[in-house]
Structure 1
Amino acid sequence: MKTILLATDFSARSDRALRRATLLARQVGARLVVVHVVDDDQPPDIVETERAQAETLLRRLGSTLRDVDGVSCETQVILALPFVGILEAVQAHAPDLVVIGSHRRQVLRDVFVGTTAERTIRSADRPVLMVNAPPVGPYTHVLQTTDLSEASRDALRRFADLGLGAGLRNTILHVFDAPALHLALSSAMSVPERERYLAEERDKAAAQLAQFLAAAELGDPHRRLRHESSAAHHEILAAAQEAQADLVVLSTHGRTGMAKLLIGSVTEAVLRTARIDVLAIPPSRHD
């Protein structure tokens, strides 16, 4: 990994993202590009004032990163809508990783849709790290998730290529379904029958996960299975908490054409509710 792009709005959320990006840059020896986007859909005087203030803040920040943290750093102010400006920076600097702060958490379930964070994740075509937790040191345990799909396999390979998991505890989680338990007839099953059926489905899922890992050449990480007894994103976050993971890796299930606007309901739900850091990785896209 050579380049990390950090998008900052100078908020407390962005400060957490900055600290994490700095830790990662020092860990892998990457250069750090810090960008701030000034909304240019405002009166010219306001745009110019905000631009000048942002340039001053970024100049100071860049000096600190270079002189104190020992990180190669470049800063840039972009005049555009926030989402558009971040994509312009991605295209200009071709980063290996984009780091952003968490979105504002509000009560409405659908408030996440359409935010700058969500638009960046679904459109940047780069791994995007959403920093939710205050960084207290390097990551120690990464929980990677897979639904055994080709998109998931490609995303996990891209994570391996980033080198962020080197030397960490590494767990692969697969949340499996037990279809018969959703059927009306399941109420007629006795407890031993339900347990026996669930054990059989778990064995099948374990064999499928082993085959998936072997075919994907992802090494031999610790394997973890969970039955989807509740919503999949609940199971993922519960597994992360039980394993004391400090980073969750998800595939965005990006596709070409209009379908690329969808990041997948499970991924979106995890991004909306997680209290630990989440790395959303799009699979490779082929024309």
Structure 2
Amino acid sequence: MKTLLIPVDFSATSDNAVNFAIEWTRAYGYNRIILLKTFYDTVFDHIVVSAEYAPVSPHYMAREREQAATRMEDLSREISLKTRGVDVIAMVSEAPLLRAIMEVVREESPEMIILGSDNYRYSSGSFIAGNLISIAKASPVRVLIVPSTYTYKPVENILVPCDYNMLDSLNKVRTLEIPRQWKNSKLLVLNVDHKERYLNPDDQLKAAEQHIHERLQNYPHEICYSNDKNIINGILSFIQQRHIQLIISLPGKHSFLYYLTHKSISDAICRNAQEPVLILK
């Protein structure tokens, strides 16, 4: 069955990701949604912040779990009403978040994980958003990152930031099953080149462009350039100019995800998080 996995923590960011997932499920014909809530406790969860640092009562923790379980049931019913015919499953785990996600991926084989993300101007205190990078990097299946302020829109323009040193990673786009809803969507392949070699392309650059055309010959596409000296800023500016609804992050050392996770992690991922990012595997 075509399955989405959505880790939830009942924050506003998580709730927004669920609402986005409902629309995505309707649009792309998913059969099953798995909601995952982890109850993993650290030693600090058993301490009340007070002068005495009094231990938390086991009854209090049990009540918290009961309340969370009730909210999971309510959320499952709400999603079921909005996605007629879709099987909605609520799962809970005592394992740490990343381990719990990996266990569900191994046992249930979801096609994709949807994660909510806070941005640099706003934080809902989402535990999942705080662990977004580690989940995205560890996941063996594709991950869709949904900004906290983003509402679902039909996908018309898809941005594919691409380093010409890693053009083979475009094979991942070729193997991506393009849904019928994207048949009129355009893939915009962006290379950020502050040296502006594209103004007077040499044989190497012409060969790279030909390689792109061959890889994407079955899809409407366009090769674009930016001369920004900062790769992240170049991508963000391009997104605003071309009204992008989805960013596809290719795998590999030179991927967009590489820059997000190695150059000012929190700032880069949050500043980018104005449009959904689909991370291929």
Could you state the TM-score of these two structures normalised by the residue count of structure 1?
A: 0.75
What is the SS of the residue equivalent to 2:182?
Answer: coil
TM-superposed CA distance for 1:104, in Å, is 5.7
- The residue aligned with 1:157 is 174
Structure 1 range deviating more: 262-271 or 65-74? 262-271
Give the counterpart of 1:273 among 271, 274, 281. 271
What is the SS of the residue equivalent to 1:91?
Answer: helix
CA distance in 2, matches of 1:50, 1:162: 42
- The residue aligned with 2:37 is 36
Given the alignment of the two structures, is residue 120 of structure 1 paired with residue 121 of structure 2, yes or no? no
Structure 1 range deviating more: 201-210 or 25-34? 201-210
Aligned length: 252
TM-superposed CA distance for 1:19, in Å, is 1.3
CA distance in 2, matches of 1:69, 1:14: 18
Contact 1:174–1:209 (CA<8 Å) still a contact in 2? no
TM-superposed CA distance for 1:56, in Å, is 0.7
Q: Residue deviations 1:106-164, cap 9 Å, x none? A: 79xxxxxx941000000012111110142144333221222242562243234x32638
CA distance in 2, matches of 1:119, 1:101: 14
Runs ≥4 residues deviating over 6 A: none
The one-letter code of the counterpart of 2:137 is R
CA distance in 2, matches of 1:267, 1:218: 31
The one-letter code of the counterpart of 1:54 is A
CA distance in 1, matches of 2:59, 2:213: 56
What is the SS of the residue equivalent to 2:201?
Answer: helix
CA distance in 1, matches of 2:261, 2:206: 22
Is the alpha carbon distance of 1:40 and 1:178 closer, same or farther for their aligned partners in structure 2, counting shifts above 3 Å?
closer
Contact 2:119–2:270 (CA<8 Å) still a contact in 1? no
TM-superposed CA distance for 1:105, in Å, is 3.4
For residues 9-24 of structure 1, the aligned pairs below 5 Å read: 9-24=9-24
Contact 2:158–2:247 (CA<8 Å) still a contact in 1? yes
CA distance in 2, matches of 1:83, 1:245: 30
- The residue aligned with 2:225 is 226
- The residue aligned with 1:76 is 91
Contact 1:232–1:266 (CA<8 Å) still a contact in 2? no
Give the counterpart of 1:49 among 63, 74, 81. 63
Is the alpha carbon distance of 1:222 and 1:75 closer, same or farther for their aligned partners in structure 2, counting shifts above 3 Å?
same
Contact 1:146–1:174 (CA<8 Å) still a contact in 2? yes
Is the alpha carbon distance of 1:217 and 1:167 closer, same or farther for their aligned partners in structure 2, counting shifts above 3 Å?
closer
Given the alignment of the two structures, is residue 134 of structure 1 paired with residue 150 of structure 2, yes or no? yes
Runs (5+) with no aligned partner, structure 1: 108-113, 182-196, 256-261, 283-287
Let me know the Cα RMSD of the aligned residues. Answer: 3.1
Give the counterpart of 1:264 among 258, 263, 266. 258
Is the alpha carbon distance of 1:27 and 1:99 closer, same or farther for their aligned partners in structure 2, counting shifts above 3 Å?
same
Given the alignment of the two structures, is residue 210 of structure 1 paired with residue 210 of structure 2, yes or no? yes
Given the alignment of the two structures, is residue 97 of structure 1 paired with residue 96 of structure 2, yes or no? no
Is the alpha carbon distance of 1:106 and 1:155 closer, same or farther for their aligned partners in structure 2, counting shifts above 3 Å?
farther
The one-letter code of the counterpart of 1:134 is Y
TM-superposed CA distance for 1:10, in Å, is 0.9
CA distance in 1, matches of 2:174, 2:236: 22
Contact 2:162–2:189 (CA<8 Å) still a contact in 1? yes
